[in-house]
A and B are shown apart, each in its own frame.
Chain A
Amino acid sequence: MGSGMALKVGVVLMLAVGLFLFLPTVLVLVVCMLPTGVALVVDRSASRSGWLCVGGLNFAAMAPSLFELWFEDHSLEFATSVISDVFALMLIYGAAGIGWLVYMTTPRIISSVMEMTSSHRIEKLKAQQQRLVEEWGPEVTRDDSGSGEGRGRASAAG
């Protein structure tokens, strides 16, 4: 119990030190990655991958500003100027919105494609069955197991 508490205290201390040392970065990240945080909270899908989709584009849009902060002026002023730049924020949040949009639409697109493919395949198979029935008669649909399912299928195919 003592060690657990110590670990927690250690982590909190490290975060506090980190927050103090990287405050500009933390500030930018917290403000700019807000949509990702929201996505993480509201995503109820089975895969729970919505935040990744939003976060990916969100981070991609934020990356130039973040690298600028890191490589040119890692100051609180510069960080404040970044998060107060409306155009930069619109770009970052817009990218996050696009990410959400992609997350919402991609499954439907894939579903439609898949459905289209299997329907076409079923049509082809039914046409093949119809050809067999025409050449060999309805008897060809007779199932060896004796079930009458095949005959029904033939009629449907016909």
Chain B
Amino acid sequence: MALTAQSSDSGKQADSGATSGTLTGQTTMLRDRFAIYYESPIPDLDTANATAFAAEDRRQRGRPLFALVVTGPLPARVMIMKHLKGVRAAGLMPLMEWGPVDWPPQQAIRLALIYEKPAGRRIVRRMGDVIKAHQDQQFAKTLLRPLVMALGELHNNGVMHRAVRPTNLFYADAAESRIVLGDCATGPVALDQPVACETIESGMCQPEGRGAGNLADDFYALGASAVMLLTGRNPLIDVADDEIVKRKLTQGSYATLVSDQRVPLNMIEVLRGLLADDKEQRWDFEQLDLWFNGRRMSPVQAKPLKRAQRAFVFMNQEFLSPRHLAHEMATHWDKAAPIVLEGKLEIWLRRGLEDNQLADQVAMAIRNAAAGSQHSRGGINDLALANVLIVMDPDAPIRFRGFRAHMDGFGGVLSAAIARGQDTKPFTEVILAEIPKMWLGVRDHFSPEYVQLDGTFRELREFLIDGVNKGSGLERCLYEMNESQQCMSKLFEKDLVLTIRDVLPALDRLGARMDSKTHPLDRHVVAFVAARFPKEIGPQLLALNESDPKRSTLGMLSLLAVLQWRLGPEAVHGLCSWVGGLMGPIINSYQSRERRRWLEREIPRLVRKGSLPELYNFVDDAEERKSDFDEYRRARAEWSAANHQIKALESGQVGADENAERMGEKAAATGSVGIAIVTVAIVLAGYLL
């Protein structure tokens, strides 16, 4: 996915084109086609994580459009957008286009989605609003069926909507005869879903931890929404989320939602089918299609849970089923842990529920926690309770103190916690304590998905253990678990880095204005690259994490060079200039001062070419390194030899006087004797000759 922010130069001035219609004002362009009027917000169409603005298709003027610009801190579901764009269904607000745009109000690049604007209003502004009940006989045909078809179509395209709720439904026409599903891509999956519209298991989760879900979850939400449309109000508006889950557990979802409300008789069957708490019993697309085509089936009856002969008393309440008890224990964590560890629960499971297998599993779960844990007493209690809750209710999310998430919802929890600056400790504790392994251990059937999950969580644990290094830690977990997560580096506060291909262009844009003290690869950028880059970059990460500045800088340059080599772009002048200013440690790693001066002269020339691989090859040339090393070694030997000679000469001077005296005396004696011999010879010659 190549995302390139469209220039909004043309849009930053008053747009004459827009004045031809009703839209006027400053615009920014998406893919040179869709103009977003950023001074014309449409608050009615806002979502929790995005702001709505008037928009126009420059190729088909007059077409009613609006833009949702992701201005919130949470990640949008980028991965589903490309699929969503191609989906056309009567019950779905069509996504026309999406992509990054220059966003003048924040002087940043933001993600924008262009939707066809529904002609009608939002059905319900708030979940507590009361509207006119849709009691007409055509409800199923005109309102419900298009929504089912839309969800089915989305599912065929690999998309789960997970935002089916009355506040996200719009009348598609002014006559309010048709309903469409609103946006589901601008925020994390199912984050804004009310617990009333979520299944029991999903309702047990914290909103961020609900996970991707499946079509059955969408159909359940559709059933709950249908009840609210048929009755004209949310019957659970004044009920706390936890109480809703409890009621659903004890009475069943249908009974909880419908309660004493009047719903058309012909809708009871489909509502029971959609709101079935047992996934196996919940109606799927085929059953709904058959029902719409007139085939009537007997209403779904909830399967009775296994109940105990005598109740287990916890928090002054009596519980007959382990699932209800597990939920209550999770709600009152600190009170539950001692009871579980004292063995009362195990006894009740054996004698009250008469389920020895479950009792054995509970005992094993406690033993595992105590045996494998390096934690304090409190830590062992927490771990034991988390394990026991998994055993007692295998379909429930993983619960660990305040942490409650499905296996595929871990990423959402971490993403939201980091985006909001919240504590991430519960997340790390769950993974480090290997609670997901316990969850996988109690599955009653084999699935390749479980094997994959096991591997994933083992990797995540390793990343957390290796948390000090760049490319590991929480940041790596964040990007590994959230495919749609944009890079959350502080460097990219004003930018939008959604894919690995966006990294270098974004750094390049930053490069021109960055000083030579800021490192382009902070923990988030490295973790993002490590999680998204498909090739092996282990050696680069190792080098990057070295304490030696030279090796660390080489690792940084090497990683960036590999990215440019594999993914482009061809030239990154800004980034090259930025990185070029950080080459000090590499230059200084050469011993020769002359070579250093030469590198300093040559680097600007390479920076102007904008090629990181060339820069890397230049500063880490193997032959140059070898020459430098060899010459340095020779220089050291030379210095050492000179040193020894100096020492020898200096120590020689101490005895030089004695030596000179001895030599002088000998020389004088020799000379004197020589003169005597010569004189004798001359005189003798005078007499003899």
Contact = CB atoms under 8 A, between A and B. Distances in A.
Interface of A: 45-47, 49-50, 52-57, 59-61, 63-64, 67, 71, 99, 102-103, 105-112, 114-115, 118, 121-122, 125-126, 128-129, 132-137, 139-144, 149-150, 153-154
A150 B640 contact: yes
Given A55-B676, A136-B635, A141-B643, 4 more contacts: A60-B678, A60-B680, A111-B661, A154-B639
Nearest to A50: B665
Interface in B638-669: 638-640, 642-643, 645-646, 649-650, 652-653, 656-657, 659-669
B419 interface: no
A53 B646 contact: no
17 contacts: A49-B668, A52-B673, A54-B672, A57-B676, A59-B679, A59-B680, A60-B676, A63-B680, A63-B683, A107-B662, A108-B664, A110-B663, A111-B656, A126-B646, A129-B643, A136-B592, A139-B591
Contact of B684 (A50, A67, A115, A149): A67
B421 to A, nearest CB: 46
Chain B, interface size category, equals 35 or more
Given A71-B687, A110-B667, A56 B673 contact: yes
Nearest to B667: A106
Taking each of A112, A136, A144, which has the highest tally of chain B beta carbons within 10 Å of its own beta carbon?
A: A136
B639 A150 contact: yes
A81 to B, nearest CB: 18
Contact of A153 (B593, B638, B643, B657): B643
A107 B665 contact: yes
Interface string B585-605: 000000111100000000000
B662 to A, nearest CB: 6
Contact of A49 (B639, B666, B686): B666
Contact of A114 (B592, B656, B672): B656
B668 A102 contact: yes
B638 A128 contact: yes
Contacts of B594: 135
Interface of B: 591-594, 632, 635-636, 638-640, 642-643, 645-646, 649-650, 652-653, 656-657, 659-669, 671-676, 678-680, 683-684, 686-687
A140 B591 CA distance: 9
Contacts of B663: 107, 110
A132 B638 contact: yes
A122 B650 contact: yes
B164 to A, nearest CB: 69
A34 B659 CA distance: 30
Contacts of A134: 593
Contacts of B664: 105-111
B592 A52 contact: no
A102 B670 CA distance: 11
A78 to B, nearest CB: 15
B660 to A, nearest CB: 3
Contact of B660 (A63, A110, A149): A110
Contacts of B632: 136, 140
A115 B679 contact: no
A46 to B, nearest CB: 7
B341 to A, nearest CB: 59
Given A110-B660, A134-B593, A52 B680 contact: no
A39 B667 CA distance: 17
A46 B657 CA distance: 13
A146 B591 CA distance: 19
Contact of B669 (A46, A52, A128): A52
Given A49-B669, A56-B673, A121-B649, A114 B659 contact: yes
B672 A55 contact: yes
A110 B649 CA distance: 16
A64 B649 contact: no
Contact of B593 (A67, A115, A118, A135): A135
Contacts of A121: 645, 649
Contacts of A71: 687
Contacts of B686: 67
B585 to A, nearest CB: 15
Contacts of A110: 660, 663-664, 667
Contacts of A139: 591
Contacts of A61: 679
Contacts of A154: 639
Contacts of A64: 683
A158 to B, nearest CB: 12
B643 A56 contact: no
Nearest to A126: B646
B215 to A, nearest CB: 68
Given A50-B665, A110-B660, A102 B639 contact: no
A125 B642 CA distance: 6
Given A103-B665, A111-B661, A142-B636, A128 B643 contact: no
Contacts of B673: 52, 55-56
A110 B675 CA distance: 20
A57 B675 contact: yes
Given A71-B687, A102-B671, A118-B656, A129 B642 contact: yes
Contacts of B666: 47, 49
Contacts of B680: 59-60, 63
Contacts of A118: 649, 652-653, 656
Contacts of A114: 656, 659-660
Nearest to A113: B660
A63 B676 contact: yes
A19 B662 CA distance: 37
B483 to A, nearest CB: 49
B603 to A, nearest CB: 20
B653 A115 contact: yes
Nearest to A107: B664
Contact of B657 (A99, A111, A129): A111
A53 B649 contact: no
Contact of A135 (B592, B656, B687): B592
A136 B683 contact: no
Contacts of B661: 45-46, 107, 111
Contacts of B675: 56-57, 60
A111 B658 CA distance: 9
B630 to A, nearest CB: 12
A50 B674 CA distance: 14
Contacts of A46: 661-662
B658 to A, nearest CB: 8
A124 B550 CA distance: 36
